[in-house]
Structure 1
Amino acid sequence: MSVYDPLRMKLESVRERSARFTFSEIEAVLGRPLPPSAYKFTAWWGNEVARKAGHTQAFAWLDAGFKAKVSLKHRAVEFHR
Structure 2
Amino acid sequence: MGGHVPKYDALRDHLRRRTGEVRYTLAEISDLVPGGLPPSAYRYEAWWANGDGTHSHSRSWADAGFTAHPDLDRGTVRFVPMQGHAW
TM-score when scaled to structure 1?
A: 0.87
In 1, are the aligned partners of 2:50 and 2:68 still within 8 Å (CA)?
Answer: yes
Identity of aligned residues (%): 38
Identify the structure with bigger relative contact order (alpha carbons < 8 Å, sequence gap 6+): 1
The root-mean-square deviation of aligned C-alpha atoms, in Å, is 1.2
Equivalent residue pairs, number = 77
Name segments (4+ residues, structure 1) moved above 6 Å.
Answer: none
Unaligned 5+ segments in structure 2 are 82-87
Given the two structures, how large is their TM-score scaled by the length of structure 2?
0.81
Q: Which has the larger radius of gyration?
A: 2
Alignment of 1:31-70 (within 5 A): 31-51=34-54, 55-70=55-70
Q: Report how far residue 32 of structure 1 moved.
A: 2.5
**Distance across 2 between alignment mates of 1:59 and 1:50:** 6
How do 1:63-78 residues align onto structure 2 when only pairs under 5 Å count?
63-78=63-78
